[in-house]
A = this chain, B = another copy of it.
Amino acid sequence: MEFRGAHILSVTQFERDDVQRVFEVADSMEPYAHRLRISKALDGAILGSMFFEPSTRTRVSFGCAFNLLGGHVRETTDIKSSSITKGESLYDTARVISGYSDVVVMRHPQPGSVAEFAKASRVPVINGGDGPNEHPSQALLDLYTIKKELISKQRSIDGMHIAMVGDLKHGRTVHSLSQLLLLYKGITFSLISPRELKMPDSIVAELRNAGHEVIETEDMEAGLKDNDTVYLTRIQEERFENKLEADIYRGRFRMNQAIYTRHCQPNTVIMHPLPRDSREEANELDNDLNQHPNLAIFRQTDNGVLVRMALFALILDVTDKIDRNATDVGWYTESRFD
């Protein structure tokens, strides 16, 4: 794909080469994200950050990524503080906001809304999550993390075994990650979930058509066997029509030190898109694994900054300007990135 000026709306936009390109640029962002060097590649540029749904992690991650490239961030975080409550169309909002920004990142509860916004926008738009639909930068950072974690264990994405656990019906991160894995070869998927929250049939069919092996199970023990990566998810309470129903499934599948030791490989990477629900009744990923070297959940969020910096650099076409006029960081930073 041509990144220059492109909208990033869906993982289905990407060919395998495109993903590779994002990952290469993400690698080159490390000295900046890890506070060794300062880049001014986007000095003077403005990110319009439009969050029409609560978010701390994604919003701050995008804002931080843009700041690390030298740009300004103008944020709108509350749909109630918006003209949309006065009957404004997404078309109008897009025409106006894109006159204020060089690139827009948008989260919105309604599937398709970000694509609709992008159609009217005069600048590139990145989908920061449109309800249960897509969240492409999350899928990219997940895959980027898998790649980096497996490399250090002499493995690769092609041919890996991955278990996905939990609410596979509502979790857009597992949907988007699965879509992205269609570009790779010979993967074994263990899909562990309550029957009622299983991965949509259409995605399972696509995975199989791409030549991947898919095992669907409600038996955690069987599903965890021989996995390189286990990807846990939260019960997406906010996507249930009946919130009480979510209580039935919460806490059903859990990962903790004992289960890890018993059922996982010594090398199995533990992932979670966060937030993890640490309330006792849920606790799908126990704190007793917090010090485990294979727990990659905070490397995921750190990698998110690299991937988002890469997306900004690619669509605003400054990948060759990152190092130009870059300077060393002058303030105290301890080595805080793994």
Residues on A facing B (Cβ under 8 Å): 4-5, 35, 38, 41-46, 48, 51, 54-57, 59-61, 63-64, 67-68, 70, 72-78, 80-89, 91-93, 95-102, 122-123, 234, 237-238, 274-279, 282, 287, 290, 298, 301-302, 305, 315-318, 321, 327, 329-334, 336-337
Contacts and interface: CB of A to CB of B under 8 A. Distances in A.
A88 B4 CA distance: 37
A99 B46 contact: no
Contacts of A67: 46, 72, 74
A88 B56 CA distance: 11
B68 A56 contact: no
A71 to B, nearest CB: 9
Given A74-B63, A74-B73, A301-B96, A331 B282 contact: no
Copy tally for this chain in the complex stands at: 3
Across chains A and B, which 6 residue pairs bring their CB atoms closest together, nearest first? A87-B277, A83-B275, A38-B44, A88-B275, A122-B336, A317-B332
Nearest to A325: B330
Given A86-B275, A317-B332, 5 more contacts: A61-B100, A64-B101, A89-B278, A92-B276, A92-B278
Given A45-B331, A85-B54, A91-B290, A60 B100 contact: yes
A61 B48 CA distance: 11
A87 to B, nearest CB: 4
A45 to B, nearest CB: 6
**Interface core residue of A43, A44, A48, A298 (most chain B CB under 10 Å):** A44
A197 to B, nearest CB: 17
Contacts of A298: 95-96, 99
Contact of A305 (B93, B100, B274): B100
A105 to B, nearest CB: 13
Contact of A86 (B5, B88, B277): B277
**Interface core residue of A78, A287, A305, A321 (most chain B CB under 10 Å):** A78
A253 to B, nearest CB: 16
**Interface core residue of A35, A46, A86 (most chain B CB under 10 Å):** A86
Contacts of A98: 336
